[in-house]
Chains A and B, each alone.
Chain A
Amino acid sequence: MSLDRPLTRNVRADKSPTDMAAYEANGGYQGLRAAMGKLSPGDCLQIIKDSNLRGRGGAGFPTGMKWSFVPMENVSTGHKYLICNADEMEPGAFKDRLLLECDPHQLIEGMILSAYTIQADVAYIFIRAEYLLAADLLRQAIADCHAKGYLGKNILGSDFSLEMHVHPSAGRYICGEETALISALEGKRANPRAKPPFPQVSGLWGRPTIVNNVETLCNIHHIIERGADWFQSLGLTEDAGTKMYGVSGRVKNPGCWELPIGTPIREILENYAGGMEDGYKMRGFLPGGGSTDFLVEEHLDLAMDYDTIGKAGSRMGTGTMIILDDKTCPVGFVKNLVEFFAQESCGFCTPCRDGLPWSAQVLDDLERGRGRPEDLETLARQVSFIGAMGNTHCALAPGAMEPLASGLKYFRDDFERHISEGGCSFHTGGVS
């Protein structure tokens, strides 16, 4: 069990946190002890590359490849940074919270090894403001690590040193975007930055920086300890490892589970989430959080991995699904999301700053019975205006258009009915 569910092996039924003693008792920091002194940073990098670990923050970028862009020579002057992205503000996402609150040491051990691999000397955990418990646990865990010699100067007698700090955010979804996060960590307005240059060469305070998601980093020490082949063997499809999957909405048992990557969607929905609540039928779902495209009934048997979901026209994103049921208005659903993104736009680039409120305004008109036939055309125009990568400065706005674009495709009738019937006939949010 512990071998095929590495991320949650310390997660207890009551969700109480695992402290240093319990973590070590279950084999914690053995990977770190084994690696320090035996493996070179280059060895570690090779293992991560071989493992085919893909970033769990949403984009699924191969972690080893990302790390390999960090300059390793001639960077003696100045710091290199590792940042854990624990901002988790995507609507519908709640997987990192579980990892943070139940097993903070797993993240820290992963971060120490990651920092070692890229030879970072300072690490930050950028955590969303509301995760107060997790932030406290992490601070305690960091202090405990210092006491044990896992953090600080010359870790476990090696010549590798690392300081780690917890930085709670002050709000704003855009802080999760890695370059905006860097701006926020620098104490500035969280405007994203243009790439190139990539953070790997010019990131926090202009220095080489790696940003990884909580779940990504939680995998690291397991992979280094048990090897790339073991990790590859965990996945059911091409993708390697396990994945934290979650389901929210009108299902019987909403929640979050670690499953082999590539587990079929239907299995997650039925075996783990318990199927739809009585009296509700599923109309569609966002597979990976609020910025992913709708999938529908016909996609239920697909494997939940990066490429399969991508081919189906959506993204695996965070792996946390949001279910649209038959008593919820799809137009309202999309409107809620678009309003969220409009409000969370940093305000830097025009299509996002002004285009999203414009889309939200049209959707609001539809909901309030002020829709006009040409509005669907306006929305489609907005999708192509805002929705393509490169049209905007960062990926927030294109993500925001995904539920709208796919909503227009799968639930066009509902949109049209809002216009022809002069408003919304759903009573979303009725208490069951």
Chain B
Amino acid sequence: MPVIHIDGQEYEVEAGQNILQACLSLGLDLPYFCWHPAMGSIGACRQCAVVQYLNPEDNRGRIVMGCMTPVMDGAIFSLNGDKASEFRRTIVESLMLNHPHDCPVCAEGGECHLQDMTVMVGHRDRQYRGKKNTHRNQYLGPLIHHEMNRCITCYRCTRFYNDYAGGTDLAAMAAHDHTYFGRHEEGVLQSEFAGNLVEVCPTGVFTDKSLMKGYTRKWDLQSAPSVCTGCAVGCNTLPGERYGKLKRVHNRFNAEVNGYFLCDRGRFGAAFVNSEKSLEYPGLRGEDGRFNALDHHSALMHMVHACHAEEGKNKVAGIGSPRASVEANYLLRLLVGAENFAPGFSDREQPLIELALALQQDSPALIPDIQTIESADAILILGEDLTNTAPRIALALRQSVRNKAYELAAELRLEAWQDAAIRNLAQDQRSPLFIASVADSRLDDIAEDRVALAPDDIARLGFAVAKLIGGENISELEPELQARAQAIATALQNAQRPLIISGTGCGNAAVMQAAAQIAQALCQAHNRAMLALAVPEANSLGQAMLTGPGAQSLAQLSKRAAAGKLDTLIILENDLYRRGPKASIDALLANVANVIVLDTLDNATLSASSLALPAASFAESEGTLVSMEGRAQRYYPVFVPRQERRASWIWLLAVMKESEREEVSELHSFDDITRACASDIPALSGITGAAPDAHFRNAGLKIPRQTHRYSGRTAMRADVSVHEPKQPVDEESPLAFSMEGLNRSQPGSLLPFVWAPGWNSNQSLHKFQSEVGGHLKGGTAGARLLLPATGTSASTATQPDATLAPSAPQQPGQWQMVPRYKIFGSDELSVHSPAIAELVDPGFIEISSDDARALGVNDGEGLVLNKPDNASQGELLTIAVATLEVRLNDSIAVGCAGYSVGLAGTEDIIAADKLVLSKADNWKRHKPQIIGSDGGGSTGGDHV
């Protein structure tokens, strides 16, 4: 390791770093702005200046930028000498020439990197007498507020937005001290990752619009380590609360999962916990069909009664939820018995998710975390629209394709942090990414080749690639597909770290099997291959692990219910109306006398229940979720649930205790349940490793959820009493609802917020990392449950010897329904966040313009989707499934029509259904949406 000298001290530092990284990693405070650990150096702000001396005799030295200067053995620097300090002070003074003195009314105040750096360099008295430049702000949509006057021109925003995240609608405009960062016209920022601007901007130019409504300073936020429930990626988050409301979500660094960035569903979607639809009291449906509020004890007793199994006959069943914790699902399964427990997937999804698990359990390939995904040097995506189903992975893939650039850079001996130089060198040369999907995707711009195919054809292409890699013949395939398969196979074989990604997203098992076969074939060819399979929800994989294959399906339960074999059905955090056609869910619920629903927000299933129990949201409870890579992760209550809300596991444990069930006699705490689950369910045996148990103490102390500057604890309730009540005690975790305790060096899963002396902003994170940008000092959060299978023998799940011959041509006049996911809208809960709700469109159907012409419809008109009635044998009898707005999309695969999953009006459409389309009469075109978030009294631009 090179040794460098800083202010007369010798330090051993990591080779390949720059001086700024080295200083920060050594714990030395060197100010900076434009450099970002995930985005590297460009040398724009000149804030990280140090003095470098040529040799020990050199006593003048010259100023160099820390972030642009590689560490070299024997190099001599001064960080604290007058020359360097004076220069850095003048930089801040210069940045402040045009910066408004509006900290008191700035949403960034108190966590502003510019404030921190200003204090750090010691700039105080202003000498500039000129006027400040001012800019006009823009309306950027419901998520992000724009205040350009605060800009210090560090270029971090466009570097993140464009270079890192592939956005195209934000740019640096004009020049010199008029440089402006914005859109070419006002409007909603189009990137799904725009929210990261809030954290990337070192000052208050881009701030969280939701936070500004009912604003709270960072130091007054109570926060706890959490996990995003938006999808199966499992990004680590830091939700912040005040006055019982979730105020905002920041990124919680996890080197292996989300690094520094979240998607906007995760950041802004969590606000559903504040929804007016949230349930606060248990409700019992009365004679009149209306719900009457109950206290929690009476509710519990009602449930105990309903669950009481009558002698011999077990007539209680439970439906779990892929969005509920492992622990709650485990308890429900325990309560009703494994044979009466359905995981709560839709009938279509269930085999797919079970398959996704089996394929990964059996695969000799590496199941990569996101950091590993970023190391891939050739990628094939089969059928998954990652930007909408696993957004953070799409962001990672944008980094993977840069590996080609890093290879070129290595030839010129450029370190990876030389960001601008490497981009200039590589220009648009990328590592190969191939996409076979049902239609266009947001990653197309970085793809070497993309093809739109019907799901079965995607699978055929995949099988062909696998065969080619295995040295087999693929002559049955159409020549065009053969050529594609050949190109893909060659690129994957030539790669050091090929990655195959697929998932449940196109609703087709063969597609995933094809992906697994390719990975397997690559492994046999001695390539280090990776296989990633996306699943839909935060705990989909955990749920499949809990039940194992062959669990009860909704259809099976429905049958039992129809046969009068169910009295009581307990539904855990699951709106069944999103899992199947309305008619069948109606029938299921109608056939059961007691429908008991535990959930957070009101929904159709809850409305159809006989007893509704308010379940605490992820932000008010603890639990374990298993992400798509098989990582078990723990989330903790950020705040104490309101009123009679309880974590589902508490409700369920209480019911079993009241029922004096033997199995739970030894279970008292949350940790007990986790441990019981781990010992009962082999696939989940690792979940106890997700985080330390409640006994963990950090140097003898609990970990505080409140910063030590947390203020107003008495004032907050002064309208009630001037006496501050005792803070709630958290017996279930090592975290405290308090300012007392120690937030330093604890395991990564227990990081409640980042703050360090002098570092109030999120940039303080490096004080918690082993080296800047590296793993957390306390280790990376989460326990991996999926380890690559040893041996390369073909697994049974992968096996079906697929035919490459085209399947029988589709019936003319029928379209195959292919799912089109939307990051804003397809997910059940995030749409209840007011900011996200503004971005959700009404349901739609995508068809090509040729098909539209044939059907006689235009963009924006309506189409009726009809299911051919099999009973009527070829007659024109059909059943209308939906009526949706038409969107023209010429990238859609021939014979396919895309439907917006989860959006209003698409509930009854099932992936792969073949439907008949016809023009809707009397269709009312949806009016262009008026965005209301800035209506009236805003400081933004002059729009509606």
Q: Which residues of A contact B (CB under 8 A)?
A: 172, 189, 193-194, 196-197, 201-202, 205-206, 342-351, 353-358, 361, 365, 370, 374, 378, 381, 385, 388, 390-393
Contacts and interface: CB of A to CB of B under 8 A. Distances in A.
Interface residues of B, number: 43
30 contacts: A189-B172, A193-B424, A194-B418, A196-B414, A197-B412, A201-B412, A202-B424, A206-B425, A343-B176, A344-B176, A345-B176, A346-B175, A347-B174, A347-B176, A348-B155, A349-B44, A350-B46, A350-B91, A351-B90, A353-B177, A354-B98, A355-B90, A356-B176, A358-B94, A361-B129, A378-B127, A391-B46, A391-B49, A392-B46, A393-B44
A358 B129 CA distance: 9
Given A347-B153, A347-B175, A393 B130 contact: no
B176 A349 contact: no
A239 to B, nearest CB: 27
B421 interface: yes
B211 to A, nearest CB: 29
B46 A381 contact: no
Interface stretch (B61-69, B257-265, B306-314, B674-682): B61-69
B176 A342 contact: yes
Contact of A194 (B42, B45, B63, B130): B42
A189 B162 CA distance: 14
B426 interface: yes
Which are the 5 A-B pairs with shortest beta-carbon distances? A354-B94, A347-B179, A361-B130, A345-B176, A206-B425
A229 B418 CA distance: 43
B89 to A, nearest CB: 10
A197 B425 contact: yes
Interface string B159-194: 000000000000010111111000000000000000
Contacts of B177: 342, 345, 347, 353-354, 357
A348 B152 CA distance: 11
A250 B555 CA distance: 97
Given A189-B175, A206-B426, A342-B176, 11 more contacts: A197-B412, A197-B414, A197-B421, A205-B427, A206-B425, A206-B429, A350-B46, A354-B97, A354-B177, A361-B128, A393-B43
Interface string B77-120: 00000000001001100110110000000000000000000000
B177 to A, nearest CB: 5
Nearest to A199: B424
B830 interface: no
Contacts of A350: 44-47, 91, 94-95, 152-153
A356 B176 CA distance: 10
B420 interface: yes
B420 A194 contact: yes
Nearest to A189: B172
Contacts of B42: 194
Contacts of B426: 206
A353 B94 CA distance: 9
Nearest to B405: A206
A279 B177 CA distance: 40
A155 to B, nearest CB: 28
A206 B178 contact: no
Given A205-B427, A350-B153, A385 B90 contact: yes
A345 B175 contact: yes
B198 to A, nearest CB: 23
B505 to A, nearest CB: 36
Contacts of B128: 358, 361
Contacts of A172: 175
A356 to B, nearest CB: 8
Given A351-B46, A354-B98, A390-B63, A381 B424 contact: no
Contacts of B87: 385, 391
A193 B41 CA distance: 12
A103 to B, nearest CB: 34
B421 A193 contact: yes
B184 to A, nearest CB: 14
Contact of B63 (A345, A357, A358, A391): A391
Contacts of B176: 342-347, 353, 356-357
Contacts of A197: 412, 414, 421, 425
Contacts of B178: 347
A365 B130 CA distance: 9
Contact of B424 (A206, A349, A390): A206
Nearest to B42: A194
Given A193-B420, A206-B425, A393 B129 contact: no
Contacts of B49: 391
A317 to B, nearest CB: 22
A189 B424 CA distance: 13
B202 to A, nearest CB: 13
Nearest to B171: A189
A167 B87 CA distance: 39
A388 B62 contact: yes
Q: Name the residue among B68, B90, B179 with the largest chain A CB count within 10 angstroms.
A: B90
B412 A355 contact: no
